């Protein structure tokens, strides 16, 4: 299971509207970044047959099975301040992460 905070849901919803996307947000991981694995986002119209699909307050989040192994139990949040607007990944599977929080190691 992946938990999505209300702040993250609102930001995802705004991004979908702004980009005129009729669908949801794909969350996944790719190799790379300073700690070994990086998070990635991509808009998609519909989930694939093997995806884990989460509906949170009308927002669809899609995660492929391989990425889900690394993201299961994660809390996706969104923080906004005068200095930055950023998604925050609180991932219990990460044993180490970089200073920016965009890559991790398991």
Domain architecture of the chain: domains with CATH: 3-105 (2.60.300.12)
Radius of gyration of the chain (CA): 13
Identify whether the C-beta of residue 71 lies closer than 8 Å to the C-beta of residue 91. yes
How does residue 100 score in pLDDT terms, banded at 50, 70 and 90? low
The residue that leads in pLDDT, 86 or 6, is: 6
Residue 105 has pLDDT above 70, yes or no: no
pLDDT in tens, 68-96: 999 999 999 999 998 889 898 898 887 76
pLDDT in tens, 20-44: 999 999 999 988 666 578 889 999 9
- Which strand (E) or helix (H) includes residue 7? helix 6-18
CA distances from 1 to 61, 80, 89 (A): 11, 25, 14
pTM of the model: 0.84
């Amino acid at each position: 299971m992946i938990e999505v905070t209300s702040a993250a849901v609102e930001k995802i919803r705004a991004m979908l509207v702004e980009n005129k996307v009729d669908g949801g947000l794909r969350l996944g991981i790719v190799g790379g970044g300073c700690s070994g694995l990086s998070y990635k986002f991509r808009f998609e119209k519909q989930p694939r047959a093997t995806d884990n699909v989460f509906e949170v307050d009308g927002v669809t989040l899609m995660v492929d099975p391989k990425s889900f192994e690394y993201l299961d139990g994660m809390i996706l949040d969104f923080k906004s301040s005068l200095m930055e607007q950023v998604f925050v990944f609180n991932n219990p599977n990460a044993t180490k992460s970089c200073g920016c929080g965009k890559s991790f190691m398991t």
